[in-house]
Amino acid sequence: MKRYVIALDEGTTSVRAGVYDVEKGIFIHRAQQEVGQSYPKSGWVEQDANEIYYKVMYVLNDCVQSVGAGNVAGIGIANQRETVVCWNRETGEPVCPAIVWQCRRTGKFCASISAEMRKKIKDKTGLLPDAYFSASKIKWNLENIPEAKKLQEEGRLCVGTVESFIIFRLTGRFLTDYTNASRTMLFDIRKMQWDQELCTFFGIPLDILPEPVPSDARFGTTRFGGKEIPVAGVLGDQQAALFGQVCHREGEGKITYGTGLFMLFHTGEKCIFSDSGLLTTVGYTLNGKTYYALEGSAFNAGSAVQWLRDGLGIIKSSEESEEFACSVSDTGGVSFVPAFTGLGAPHWNSEARGLLTGISRGTTRAHIIRAVLESIAFSARDLADCMIRDSGICLREIKCDGGASANSFLMQFQADVLGIAVNRPKERESTLLGVALLSAASLGILAPEDLADKRISEKIFVPSLERKKYEELYANYLLAIKRALLNE
Ligand code: ADP
């Protein structure tokens, strides 16, 4: 039996791929290529879809060659979500730059959407209308790129998120998976189909969109080294991380500590809508069942550590923050609010700015560094509280990943402040692992009951029994948040 699956992670700044040995449960080879971005106007972010595709081919070729095409059972794809590509159905050539998820060019339009329509959008898609999601980006292309409009009128335009472009170029099929579709703001996440009313509202004809299929479907075949290789298993990157962290049961959640912080919370087969401004999203589909997740993010996490390093210059490397934080027993009364670019759920204030309070003559840089790390854990607590409250589901355990999850002080403090164990895996590239596992399950080379064994814990951070102490610390942080909100 072919035992290798190639997992692709098409991220915003880099494209990575790994060869996963299903029997051994490890990646035996990896490849990576950086991808450029351009910023043609203030707030605009674009990418060249051809560059993405060439780099995807480069890393896939590298991985296929490392084991030989004949030994590859299939390819799974995870990708940056929401980013929109328009291409010619006949040639596969992009007709304009890809509009990246971060791009704010449609912000004004999204802000003008009526309250009634906003409610409809939330009820159908689980999303809060924003320029972040794909719908308004597609509308922008149809209104501003004459070539796109012309091709659309001639029935020769394809529009989709990045995975659908990659699948099209690899296999010739025009498909997307449910998790990516659920980030477009055009997809009914209960009926699992494009919503006609929303498409009409955004001026998007249904025939330019890909066919949505379950994440664990077969997406066609591609050729490498003269061999046909199936493409099987496709997920948005955050959902892939949820899957790779084996959060496969209701109440299991993962937090990615990168530049920002992303939390996804598995709510089982229930599609739960949040009152706190969290998003409802399709987690994944497996064997005919769809599982949902609540999603929340904090804009700043690792970026606050970068600020200590590059802005204040009080640490030389991000890693050093751990040593300083551990050198003091507390923050000496210092509180930090990492609101560099406003505050997300549940505070939702784009005007709030960062705050450092409680400084005395005895305050040292170690106190400030510790306060910054603690603030990251507190913002995750904010999100976790909303998820538990909105869903009525207990949070069993948190699985962590991302650059800052390497910081053991932060992970221990996170467990303490949540009162829940934080479980750090050996394989930190959860996105790659997630899509490798889904692909292997889809190809039938990994039984669903064996999936959980493929995630190996490196360390479990057990919460302290001193609940009162940590609740008081969290209450202090909430006071600092109140002050940050007054600053606006
Ligand atoms: P992204 O994918 O968002 O670029 P990564 O997952 O690569 O982010 O994580 C990078 C972030 O993690 C940086 O902001 C960095 O400051 C932070 N980071 C990395 N190592 C540590 C550490 N040991 N302690 C705290 N923060 C860290």
Tell me which residue has tokens 């005919």.
288
Between CA 434 and CA 7 the distance in angstroms is 9
Closest residue by Cα to atom 21, ligand 1, is 404
Residues with CB under 6 A from ligand 1: 258-259, 302-303, 305-306, 318-319, 321-322, 402-404, 406-407
CA of 81 to the centre of ligand 1 (A): 20
Which ligand 1 atom is nearest residue 403's CA? 9
Residue 259 tokens, joined: 């530049």
Tell me the residue type at 465.
L
| Cα atoms in the Cβ-side hemisphere of radius 13 Å centred on 281 | 33
Closest residue by Cα to atom 1, ligand 1, is 258
Neighbours of 15 (CB within 10 A): 27
Burial 194-230 (b: 16+ CB within 10 A, else e): bbeebbebbebeeebbbebbbbbbbbbbbebeeeebb
Between CA 100 and CA 290 the distance in angstroms is 27
Per-residue pLDDT at 488: 53
C-alpha 149: how far from its chain's center?
31
Whether 291 contacts 283, CB under 8 Å: yes
**Partners of 66 in the β-ladder:** none
Tell me the residue type at 143.
E
Task: Label residue 392 left, alpha or beta by phi (over 0 means left) and psi (-120 to 50 means alpha).
Answer: left
Residue 341 tokens, joined: 């670019």
For ligand 1, mutation pick of 318, 324, 336 (most atoms within 8 Å of CB): 318
CA distances from 324 to 75, 251, 315, 442 (A): 43, 34, 9, 46
Nearest in space to 75 (alpha carbons), one of 15, 14, 12, 18: 18
Closest residue by Cα to atom 8, ligand 1, is 258
Tell me the residue type at 96.
C
Tell me the residue type at 431.
T
Closest residue by Cα to atom 2, ligand 1, is 258
pTM of the full structure = 0.92
How do the pLDDT tens digits run along the chain, 488 residues long? Answer: 678 999 999 998 899 999 999 999 999 999 999 999 899 988 888 999 999 999 999 999 999 999 999 999 999 999 999 999 999 999 999 999 999 988 889 989 998 999 999 999 999 999 999 888 999 999 999 999 999 999 999 999 999 999 999 999 999 999 999 999 999 999 999 999 999 999 999 999 999 999 999 999 999 999 998 899 999 999 999 999 999 999 999 999 999 998 889 999 999 998 999 988 899 999 999 999 999 999 998 888 898 999 999 999 999 999 999 999 999 999 999 999 998 877 877 887 877 888 999 999 999 999 999 999 999 999 999 999 999 999 999 998 999 999 999 999 999 999 999 999 999 999 989 999 999 999 999 999 998 888 888 999 999 999 999 999 999 999 999 999 998 887 65
CA of 185 to the centre of ligand 1 (A): 30
Which ligand 1 atom is nearest residue 259's CA? 3
For ligand 1, mutation pick of 305, 341, 376, 400 (most atoms within 8 Å of CB): 305
First CA to last CA distance, the chain: 61
For ligand 1, mutation pick of 314, 315, 407, 428 (most atoms within 8 Å of CB): 407
Which ligand 1 atom is nearest residue 301's CA? 14
Closest residue by Cα to atom 25, ligand 1, is 404
CA of 420 to the centre of ligand 1 (A): 22
Closest residue by Cα to atom 18, ligand 1, is 404
CA of 393 to the centre of ligand 1 (A): 30
154 phi/psi in degrees, rounded to 5: -90, 5
